Each structure stands twice: as C-alpha cells, then as structure tokens.
Structure 1
Amino acid sequence: MHKLIAAVAAGLAVAATPLAAQAQISDNVVKLGVLTDMSSLYADATGKGSLAAVEMAVADYGGKVAGVPIQVVSADHQNKPDVGVNIARNWYDNEKVDAILDVPTSSVALPISALTREKNKINLNSGGGSSDITGPACSPNTVHWTYDTYALSNVAGKAMVKRGEDTWFFVTADYAFGMALERDAANVVKESGGKVLGDVRHPLNSSDFSSFLLQAQASKAKVVALANAGGDTTNALKQAAEFGITQGGQKMIALLMEITDVHSLGIKATQGLIITDAFYWDTNDETRAFSKRFNDKVGHMPTMIQAGLYSATMHYLKAIEAIKSDEAPKVMEQMRKTPVNDFFAKNGKIRIDGRMVHDMYLFEVKKPEESKGEWDLYKLIATVPGDEAFRPLDKGGCPLVKGN
C-alpha cells in the first residue's frame, strides 16, 4: 500500500510539473500586438513588413514559448494618437495582449509607452523615433530597440560638420518626431562648431514642399536637413531636385531615410545622399540570409525598423522561455541582463532607460555605375559604436537613472 501511494504521488508530481511551469504564463498564451502604419506615409518602412517580421520571428521560434502558443494580432493606428491609444487600451484590457510592438510616429509612440506602464505590460518600440522615449518620458516597461533622433543626428551631424558643411537649415515635420529630430540635430551641429541659420515646419504627410524648400534655398545654408521621414522625405527630395537645390551647391541630408525610400526614388535621384541607419541587408552573411527570406515573403528588403522588430521579438520570447513567465517586470529584468547577439546587433545591451544600445552606420548612396543590383544601394562610410552613437545615459533626463 505504501509503495502504491508513493507511486501515485510521484505520478501526480510529474503530471503537475508542466502545469506548474505554465501557470506563470497569463491566460496560457503569449499575445503580441503589432501596432503600426498600414496605410499612410510610413507604411513601406513599417506596416505589413513590420507584421511579417514579427510573424517570421514567431514561426522561427516554433510558434510556442514556455509550452504555450504565441498569437499575433495587428492594427493600423493611422498616425493618430487617439486611435492608437484606443486600440492599445482595448488590446490590454479586453484582448489580453502582453506586448505591443513597432508603433511608428512618435506622437502615437509616447502615449502608448505611458499606457503600457499604467497597464504593467511591455512595449517593444522599433518604429517611433523621438529620443524622449528614453529621456523625460522613459518607462521601465518600454524598450526603444532600433534607432532614435539622437543617434540619427549624432552620427550624420558630426560627420558633415567635420568635413566643412557647417551651416544648416531645417525642413521639419511639425509633430513630436520632427521636433525631436531637429532639436537633437541642431544641438550636434552647434556642439561641433556649426551654425543653424533657420528652420521651417511643415504638416505631417505634406504633398507640396515648394514654399518650405524656397526658404531653405534662400537661407544659403550649406546643408538643407530634412527632419522628417517616409513619404514626407521622398516628396521633399523629389521637389528639391526640381528646384535644383543640390545643383546650386547646397547639400541635402535626409536625417531619417529608409532603404525603401531610396529604392522608391531611385539611385539616380538619391546618389551621394548621406544616411544614418541601424541595419543594411548586405552587411554580412547573416544579414543577407535574413533579408533574402524577408524579401521572398514581403517583396522588398527589410528596413531597419522591420529587421529590428524581428530581433526584439526573438529577445522577448527568449526572456519568457528563460524565466517561464510573461510577467512584465520579470521579463524586462531578464531582457536587460541578457546581451543581444543576432544578425541585427552584436553585444547589444538594454539600459535602465529602455535604450537598446548597438552599433549604428553611416552610409552614402552609391552612384548608378557603382551599383551591381536592384538593392545594391549603399556604401559604408563609418561604423559608429553604440556607446558613441546613442545619447549618454546620464544626459537624457530619464527619471529612472540615478541623479536625474
């Protein structure tokens, strides 16, 4: 009888083990929400490609983590903060989403980060750019994965002023991202010994840049800096060519330009442009392998935002697997203490302010005769170590950092 009881007890213990392990996973599912721009000016750089990158990571992970299934939902925030927040609130409150990913458009990204903290979930931001996300608005629940306005400005601004392009005029998108990008770039220019001669603000998703570009042209600044992104950048560059700005001796810089933008405009129109990026498909065998798979699935090479999302999703799932829990503070702690080593980043690290620090790259768009194929668009000028590219931890004003 004693042997029988012992055997039954042992059997129950074995049977209970997987249940105990799974008990830490809320609702017995890990649910990811990709909140992005599916229909407007950032759709090529994010959108369906962002969703595909997350789905690729989930599939590559095996569709399960810590013994429970992974689900992916998606929505279009239409670049409107109220729409984005309503979707996110419904996801957290009613659909039991554990983490929200991507969130391009900083005016949407900032309130989503705040809501995520309120709900004690996780926000893996790849698409939003404002450095305020890890500055005054930093959160213990948000990781800013791919890029930010400080790194974009710091890498390109220093390089250009150093080579004598030291007077700047900004054409800036009139919302949180554009303002942060201009602010960070202007600071770099001034700190490097250059001058800002002026700026002009344009509405988000503009079609006519003529008045803005004429002001830039009249300023006689050596550099006309576009502090915008996506369709705004491509429209501005097309119209700048019509006005003969570069032919007149001024240098155009797109402070944020994705490879899809360069491809859309064509190498002839963009040759010589200086671009800061976190990822380029043709960097090494690992980046080429991922990018080929992505291209086969989506129809274009991945942007840095899309490549970053794959990386962020994998890191998140590995953290859950390691601790057998999807409880946000525990997962965040595990993510912060684990280096990021994949095709996107080598020895990347997540700081207490939420910044994922990794190398950034300065590229120049090739001349048509230098390009060997449809997506052979960039030549590398410099690799900038993460600690040099991103804002120092003690300079951002993040309340989570001691001394701030």
Structure 2
Amino acid sequence: MATQTIISSAQATRNAESEIVDDMRPFLRTYKSGRVERLMPDTFVPASEDPGDTGVATRDVVIDPATGVSARLFLSVGAVAAGRRLPLVIYFHGGAFCTGSAFSELFHRYAASLSARAGVLVVSVEYRLAPEHPIPAAYEDAWVALRWAASRSDPWLAFHADPNPTRMFLAGESAGANIAHSMAARVAADGEDIHIEGMVLLQPFFWGTERLPAETDRHDGPVFSPELVDTLWPFLTAGAAGNDDPRISPPAGQVASLPCRRVLVGVAAKDVVRDRGCRYAAWLRRGDRCREVTLVESKGKDHGFHLYRPECASAVALMDRVAEFINGWAPSVIADAETERLHAREGTSKTGRAASGDGPDMEVSDSPGLKAPNALAAKRPTPPEAAASFQLEIGLASSSEMIQRRPFAPADLGTAVAKSRL
C-alpha cells in the first residue's frame, strides 16, 4: 500500500508538471504545478561603461531593492562629447506585460540604438512581470522608476540629463507604450510635480470589449490574433479585470487630457492593435492639452517589426522619425554616424530611401500647424575626439561610487532582481 501511495504521488506530480492551465502562445504557458514556461526566452547581455563600437555607454542601477525595480542607463558618447545636456527618455520595454527584460539583447539593442541615433540618455526600466506578479505590479514599478528618474538623483542623470523639464519623454512599444500612457495619466490624476514634454508610443497595446475594423478579420497574424488578445488582460490581472478596464481601454476624455505637449504614435498596418493606436492619436488631437500629435504608419508591417528586424528600411525610417521627434525636428548631428551605419547596412540613404529609389512604405500625419525647422548645423566630432571627450566627462563624475562600479553581469543585481522574478 505504501509503495502504491508513493507511485501515485509521483504520478500526480508528473501530471501537474505537464498539465497546461493557460496556453498563452506565443508568450508563455502555465502549468498546474505553478510552473511558468516562457516561450520567448531572453538572452541577457551585460552593461558596460566602455562605449566600444556602439558609441553608447551603459550602466545598471537598482532603484528599489525591496521589489527589484531596476534600470539600465544608456549614454550617447557623441552627445556627451559635444558638451550638451541630453534629453531624458524613460523607456518601458514591451512583451505583453509577461515577457521581456531591460537586460535582454532585444531591448538592450533597441535602447542603445535610440540613445545613439537621437543623442539622448535612456533609462530602460526593468519591471515585474505577470503572471508571477499580476497587474498592477508593472505600473507600480514604473511609477517608482519615473519618480526616481525625474529626481535626477543618479550621477549620470545629474551630470548629463538636461534639467530643463521640456526635455523629458516617456517611450515604449506595445505593453511599454501602455505603461508610458498610464504614467502620464497618473501624473495628471495625482497632480504630481513631474513635467512630461512628450511621449513616443509604438504599436501601443490597447484593447476593448468591442471590435474595431482592423480587429474583425485578423486570425492568422504571426504575433496576435483577436482571440488571443481577448484573453490577455484577464490573464495578466489574475482575473481581476476584463477588457473594459480603463488601463487597457483608456477613455477618450483621459487621453485628451494627458499632460504632454507632444506625442508620436507609431502603428503597423498589419498589426491587430493598429486601429487602437490610430484612435488614440485622434483623441489626442481633439483635446486642448497636446499641441503636437504625429501619427506614423508603417505599411506592410506587423507588431514589433522594428525590434526583430531593426535594419529593415521601415525600422530605420521609424527610428529616424522618433529621433527627429524627440529633438524637436532637429535631430542630433552627433548621431549621424549611427544613422549612416544603419542605412549603409540596409542600402538606404539618410532620408530612408533605398539606393534603388524605393523606400520604406510609411505614412506620417502631423497635427495642424506643426512645422519642421532646419536641422542643426553643428560639426560632428570625429570618433577619437568623441571618445576622448567622453572619458573626460566620465572623469568629472568619477567621484561617485556608482560611476566606479565594475561592468554589470546579470548576477550583479543579486537578490533584488531574483526576487522580482519569483
């Protein structure tokens, strides 16, 4: 009898390990045992204060040891060498609130390219993921990170981020764009003394209980189907909310009253959430708070294309558009080398046109009255000059213990990040 009991117990354990409770492909599966299997595993890359060939120095910081909220900072060498204070971009990665990491190769690469191309200081936020940490954990972590970044208490932010409040932006794609919107909405609702100049929302993850036109006949998309998206929000909130939740389906009035002067919304023509982004931009234009609204549509592309094919013509053109937007239509000439590198690999010119005469299929719709001034005419330093100037700048700040810390390896965050994944 005892032997049979042991065998039965072992069999029950095996059954629990293999019995799927939630099949959320392509993101993850959960099992009866409580195990979470992520189907899009992250490849982690270390940070390094040596800018190397990328022209971007990176460093990791723990913002809240109790929860594991942390961030990776990205600092453009060329922009620092020019002696300028940099726009500050607080970036939230995508991944449907349940996958992805600021330390993964995918999102590290994007944030580094953004820093280099736009000449900005990027704070890429590492937030807790569902289902281990259901919504609202991601929002709570993002809020802590936003307040920390706005305080400029970190030495890189204190020395290199522009203190001018008109130079701080929120950015993200997919779930990260949703988080950026939610942070702006919370600033407005709480009356927090944080000035957000603008937002960059790429393929924002919004949904609802009623279908929009682009959602009615999309059953074979490589990333999202309407049926999958219908189940995501209840899963992410552990059943606490449905698709009428204002966090996933923000009302028009909230969108129109966001405290941002400028917003860029990027959508992909084949993306199931395309119409949500287009409607969001339309609602912004109806309000009286946001003075400049830019809607960029990438033709023939689907959700997250700019992450998985960053050197395709449409992704390069989108990055150029984002850089120009952040810089107030005067993209940093310090970042020209990064643009040339991307376009050279794709065989396009800096305008985004292919060498053969064909270019990325993109439509841009600007809010009325928005005009683009001429680009800055400053001379770009040569790479050796830039590197020398950058080392000098780092030396000025080297009295800080955090500047002197060794290059990051994922284990360096210790139990703080480990706790966030439990």
- Fold equivalence (TM over 0.5): no
TM-score by length of 1: 0.32
Greater helix content: 1
